[in-house]
Structure 1
């Protein structure tokens, strides 16, 4: 994957959230609008698992709307061949193979409900289908004899049909007052999910005030049973096969009650709790074998001397492996970590105070660190941001361009450098096998027939080029078909847009 300054292929432009999608008779259980049939078309673009070269191929606009909260910024995702755009209003899907396949599932069904937060779209497999999972924090004003309440709503959507296949709504608090800042209003703080089962644990905090304390809890939801469980005072880190790993404690700088635990998702019963004598334990990521946490504690509070560590909790045995970061705790405010849905976890430091940056990799099989370096060690540049990890590949952004790393070793991966956009057939030559130089042939330059007006694709190619800013970014979510990332609107034709979802297709 390389940065590009221009793309010669016309970008596919389709209607975004709140756009002019045609309404379909998809049934009342759909809860949204769709222009697709239940039978997906045969893919006409190649897929690679994992993608090691990406090229800008489409721009999907996300429309602005009156009264949008400043906190409501679109979150991008991808499930199979469908790009996902999520926000407070709901989740929309745009098929990157068949642009006529478009749908939107709203986040609420009643005017008495206000959405206060939304998770990023998550991708899972259910019964062999690609499914999008999304969670919302909502405030329901109540009706009739029902009291106002705070809700956590989780939806599972078949991305190829655009139909909602499961939904769980969980009351988590009683509201006092009205409005988006009413006491008890829930806010989705983080999510952990199992991509193989679609089970999800939603971290929630409820709004408080001077007389009512804010509460922290986790909601476990299962698409098969369509039931949920509330786990008080827990912040989730991982979900795997019905097991939830999380952290709890008073989160006070002088406290020592921070602990990590394992619980049965269906019942909420804590099966193992491990005190780590930490004032604060922050969930980082969840793999199939371990859950990961960051903890720091003062050895001398008055002098400001502290130590920190990354902890890996075995989801089966409860055993803990400890990794010492390469930077002093005073120079960082924690770590951001991503699981590659295979065997690796990659973490980067955040909030540095001039003390350098760090990147490191952990083996999810053992929970142990396998590689890492800091900007102080010299020789290599720590990426500004790790944006995604998928099946052994780390996708990151440096100041100059997007880069790829091997998730197991941290070494740079060579990436193909496409000479232009997709070919007219969207299929590499020579049986989908890149050439020895990993560079597509000159035939990859699109022909005039590739413009949307020629192949029946909705939208206008010139407008698509206007929406794309000409500088390729690193994807925030990846599937075998490619990846997506959020771009701010540009140009004179973007005044009614909140953001643009850029799809980068896999070319190798």
Structure 2
């Protein structure tokens, strides 16, 4: 039976924000020659750059798995035309143009290795291909005469085929029981080259004799470099910018360094004279940092924003809206803007935008500074910021911070299931034409593994975006919630404008 179409659309803009180009991924052109009776081609798939309106089109089950760690959450990603979901186990991809195409790449195949941490899927280009990058922190218990060691594993995956283009495993620590297990602090990546810079720490010291370090890895050379005492703020064209901690307590000499990624050599020292410097994120031209310095007059930390030009090392200083911020989570739109939101779970909140071309703060507000609420940022892409308020998903202009005009999202779609139509825990979704427990085929399920009866009918803001749409995760609902079957549901949003 045909898959039920979800009719509710998340129309966040009155007009299209990009070119309404069509993908030819599902079409046949007979090698470019025409005949008198051409073979009917599949409907062209709509793409928008950036997408500014969505329809919930598919819901993929994310099964729970034996041995899952407490903090192992499902993380969505969107690389080209492939919707991704990742966890410590690995990453799974589903082609949204051809939903029958699906693959999984596991984080590790060794029985002696456990995964302690994983990054979100990162979208890059390698040799013109759409590639997903995954980084894992692992502990290898060793076998034979090999000693236990902590590793940072990086995989570059061709999303069209699900095949690994490259893989680099870098030893970063020794492991003695629970001590020495590495953890990921933060990840920066270059979408143009696929180069990554991964901040890593360990419960004991790393093999480079520091608490923190950066692992730089390149898919072309398939080599890595460990830069001690540095957490990455940006990587672009082989240049790494990172935060350097104080030389000793109360020295107030924390700053930034520029590093040649391939060799690990520091090429420039940039003193900021701060007590602490935390990396935010970087674009193609600048890296951004948040510095704090204790004031003896006020007996409080004073926060400042810094940008560093990746070519010259030139510094631009800005002032955050909150006098005592607790840190920020930032997202680059892969164009010219970075948007940041404070990471505090409660209290006053702040949101602001940074210009990658100038390194300057361009807009921002706090819960104290005006009538606008501070939304939760879920994604940014090519000039658009995707945010979520308590009531609805909203689009914002990445350059100005202004709301983009559009209608509010509609409610539960007419094609979504009611509460009594939610599948029971025995209705485990699978690839192929699934059927309900009674044996009657379900209109909600498709041959591609999507099961729209898992969708809760509440359209959310995408957590990852490409011209082919967006994805986010929701909790399982209905009678299946709380069972051991599903950990999450991956909702795919098809672009409609």
Given that 2:114 and 2:140 are in contact with CA atoms closer than 8 Å, whether structure 1 keeps it comes out as yes
In structure 2, the partner of 1:9 is: 6
Q: Secondary structure at the match of 2:264?
A: coil
Given that 1:115 and 1:138 are in contact with CA atoms closer than 8 Å, whether structure 2 keeps it comes out as yes
Measured in 1, the distance between the counterparts of 2:168 and 2:139 equals: 15
Measured in 2, the distance between the counterparts of 1:87 and 1:376 equals: 37
After superposition, give the CA deviation of every residue in 1:114-153 in whole Å (9 maximum; x if it has no partner). Answer: 1111111101011211100000111111122211111110
In structure 1, the partner of 2:87 is: 87
- 1:371 Cα deviation after fit: 1.6
1:507 maps to 2:496: yes
In structure 1, the partner of 2:352 is: 360
Measured in 1, the distance between the counterparts of 2:491 and 2:446 equals: 20
In structure 1, the partner of 2:421 is: none
Cα 1:264–1:111 change in 2 (3 A) is: same
- 1:169 Cα deviation after fit: 0.6
Measured in 2, the distance between the counterparts of 1:224 and 1:215 equals: 29
In structure 2, the partner of 1:478 is: 465
In structure 2, the partner of 1:411 is: 402
Measured in 1, the distance between the counterparts of 2:449 and 2:188 equals: 36
Measured in 1, the distance between the counterparts of 2:448 and 2:380 equals: 32
In structure 2, the partner of 1:245 is: 241
Q: Secondary structure at the match of 1:478?
A: strand
- 1:453 Cα deviation after fit: 5.7
Measured in 2, the distance between the counterparts of 1:369 and 1:347 equals: 10
In structure 2, the partner of 1:441 is: none
In structure 2, the partner of 1:127 is: 127
Q: Secondary structure at the match of 1:146?
A: coil
- 1:486 Cα deviation after fit: 1.6
In structure 2, the partner of 1:157 is: 157
Given that 2:396 and 2:404 are in contact with CA atoms closer than 8 Å, whether structure 1 keeps it comes out as yes
Measured in 1, the distance between the counterparts of 2:386 and 2:490 equals: 17
Given that 1:8 and 1:420 are in contact with CA atoms closer than 8 Å, whether structure 2 keeps it comes out as no
- 1:421 Cα deviation after fit: 10
Cα 1:479–1:417 change in 2 (3 A) is: same
User: TM-score, with normalisation over the residues of structure 1?
Assistant: 0.80
In structure 2, the partner of 1:489 is: 476
Given that 2:255 and 2:277 are in contact with CA atoms closer than 8 Å, whether structure 1 keeps it comes out as yes
Cα 1:319–1:408 change in 2 (3 A) is: same
- 1:298 Cα deviation after fit: 1.1
- 1:353 Cα deviation after fit: 6.3
Given that 2:409 and 2:459 are in contact with CA atoms closer than 8 Å, whether structure 1 keeps it comes out as no
Measured in 2, the distance between the counterparts of 1:295 and 1:170 equals: 30
After superposition, give the CA deviation of every residue in 1:207-262 in whole Å (9 maximum; x if it has no partner). Answer: 229xx987211100000000000001110111101011110114987441211111
- 1:264 Cα deviation after fit: 0.5
After superposition, give the CA deviation of every residue in 1:273-316 in whole Å (9 maximum; x if it has no partner). Answer: 11111111111111001000001111117x52332111011001
1:398 maps to 2:389: yes
Could you list the structure 1 runs, at least 4 aligned residues long, displaced by more than 3 angstroms after superposition. 39-44, 250-255, 415-422, 451-456, 458-461
1:457 maps to 2:453: no
- 1:189 Cα deviation after fit: 1.5
Measured in 2, the distance between the counterparts of 1:152 and 1:55 equals: 38
Extract unaligned runs of 5+ from structure 2. 9-23, 28-42, 416-440
Given that 1:9 and 1:420 are in contact with CA atoms closer than 8 Å, whether structure 2 keeps it comes out as no
Aligned residue among 358, 370, 379 for 1:388:
379
Cα 1:61–1:283 change in 2 (3 A) is: same
Measured in 2, the distance between the counterparts of 1:85 and 1:112 equals: 24
Given that 2:5 and 2:57 are in contact with CA atoms closer than 8 Å, whether structure 1 keeps it comes out as no
Cα 1:353–1:415 change in 2 (3 A) is: closer
Measured in 1, the distance between the counterparts of 2:257 and 2:392 equals: 40
In structure 2, the partner of 1:147 is: 147
Given that 1:135 and 1:154 are in contact with CA atoms closer than 8 Å, whether structure 2 keeps it comes out as yes
Cα 1:454–1:67 change in 2 (3 A) is: closer
The number of aligned residues is: 435
1:187 maps to 2:183: yes
Cα 1:487–1:84 change in 2 (3 A) is: same
- 1:493 Cα deviation after fit: 3.5
Given that 2:60 and 2:449 are in contact with CA atoms closer than 8 Å, whether structure 1 keeps it comes out as no
- 1:66 Cα deviation after fit: 1.5
User: TM-score, with normalisation over the residues of structure 2?
Assistant: 0.82
- 1:492 Cα deviation after fit: 2.1
Q: Secondary structure at the match of 1:492?
A: helix
In structure 1, the partner of 2:340 is: 347
1:226 maps to 2:222: yes
After superposition, give the CA deviation of every residue in 1:162-192 in whole Å (9 maximum; x if it has no partner). Answer: 1111000111111123xxx2x2111111100
Cα 1:481–1:40 change in 2 (3 A) is: closer
- 1:87 Cα deviation after fit: 0.8
Q: Secondary structure at the match of 1:47?
A: strand
1:296-315 to structure 2, matched below 5 A, reads: 296-300=292-296, 303-315=298-310
